[in-house]
Each structure stands twice: as structure tokens, then as C-alpha cells.
Amino acid sequence: MIPLVYEVKQEKKEESQKKESKSVLDLFRYKSLLRMTLGCCWSFFCLQMVYFGINYSCESFGFDIYTNTLFSDLGEAFGYVLFFFLVEHTPRKKYSFIGFISCSLLCLAFVPITIPKECKSSGQYCYQKVIQLIMATVAKLIVAVLFSLFQIFYSEMFPTLVRSQAIGLIMSFSMVGVLLVPFMKDYALNIGTTPLLFVAVLGFLGMLGLFPLQETLNVPLPDQIYELQ
């Protein structure tokens, strides 16, 4: 009887040790978590720079800054509403790739489609302004969907033991990208190009962080770290 009670206590002790709270350092201690942590941090870092890069560039494309901001925000709002109906059936990894590629190509298209100087300086109407405004609105819609999708993606990816620590680390690291956006914009304008060129490059670079990540759609949320199972 006594050995049996001892075994039960040992099992409970082992379970409690497994379920004890983890720190941020555990995200780098285990190989399975390290891969996800680095991939998510890098992708969300680039995504934040893409999102705010478009916002900070509103005065450099299309019409005046007020019209550009209005339409880009309408595109963003529609993107959030659209994602609400797609979230349960959208493969996370696949559509993250599609979102990054689509947004990058739209931003890259701003390089050949430029507004003539006579049209830009005089405030006249020209078709290039309309095209740029449409591209920026669609890009903002895609970024809004991608932003919502990725937050669910990495929330479903990490085990329960370290999920809150992982989310906090990813969000904190991505804020560094937000701080760098104004410098990126000023540098682009100083060399005589559109800031959206750098936004497009960041979109392509953000895809690199997706390769080590696993699909989470219709996959049960993990509770335990893989190495501790």
C-alpha cells in the first residue's frame, strides 16, 4: 500500500514539474521552440514594418494625404471584416506566403507607375494617381488580413506553457521594426525613390521566417513542449 501511495505522489510531482511556469529563456532553450520563435519574430518584425511603412508613405503616392489615408483605412477595415469570415477555413502558412507576396508585388509596382511632375506639383488629375491609390488600398487590405492571420497563427503554434511568453516576445521584437520605419522613409526620400520600394523588399524578406513554421489549421493546440513530452 505504501509503495503505491509513493508512486502516485511521484507521478503527481512529475506532472506538476511539467506544468510549472516557463520563462522567455525556454523559447531559446528547446530546439522545437527556437525554430518557431525565430521564424515568428522575423516575420512579424517585417510585417509591422510593411504595415507602418504603407501608413507613413500616404503623402508620397496618389492624391493628397487625407484622401490617401481615408481610402487606405477603408481598405484596412474591409480586410478585418473579410478575415472574420475566412478565419475558420484559411490555411495559416499558405495564405501568409500569399499575403506577403501579393503585398510586396503591389508595393513594387509603385516604382514603374510614377506620377508625372507636372501632375504632382499642380495638383491636377491624372490616371497614375488613381492607380496608385487603388494599389495602396488593396495592399492595406491584404496587410490587414495578413496581420490578423499571423496573430492567430503564432498563437496556435506555441504550447500552452510558453504561449504568453512567446506572444510577448514576438510583439516586443516587432516594435523595433515600427521604430525603424521613419528612418526607412527618410532614407528612401533622400535617395530619390519611393519608401514603398523598401516596403516591398521587407515583404519578400518576411517570407523567409515562414519556412520553418508548421501549419496549425485544424491542429489541436499543443499543451506541452515537444522535448518534455
Cα dihedral across residues 171, 187, 198, 57: positive or negative: positive
Look at residue 224 and tell me whether its pLDDT is greater than 60.
Answer: yes
- pLDDT confidence of 187, banded at 50, 70, 90? very high
Q: What is the pTM of this model?
A: 0.85
Look at residue 1 and tell me whether its pLDDT is greater than 70.
Answer: no
Residue whose C-alpha cell is 520553418: 212
> How far is residue 145's CA from residue 77's CA, in Å, rounded to a whole number?
10
Q: Say what the pLDDT of residue 24 is.
A: 83
Look at residue 19 and tell me whether its pLDDT is greater than 70.
Answer: no
71-130 pLDDT, tens digit per residue, is 999 999 999 999 999 888 889 999 999 999 999 999 999 888 888 777 776 567 788 888
Q: Which amino acid is at 136?
A: A
> How far is residue 224's CA from residue 33's CA, in Å, rounded to a whole number?
11
Q: Is residue 220 packed enough to be buried (19+ CB in 10 Å), middle (13-18) or exposed (0-12)?
A: exposed
Average pLDDT for residues 15-22, to the nearest whole number? 55
Domains, the chain, in order of start with CATH, read 26-208 (1.20.1250.20)
Q: Which amino acid is at 88?
A: E
Look at residue 17 and tell me whether its pLDDT is greater than 50.
Answer: no
> How far is residue 183's CA from residue 67's CA, in Å, rounded to a whole number?
24
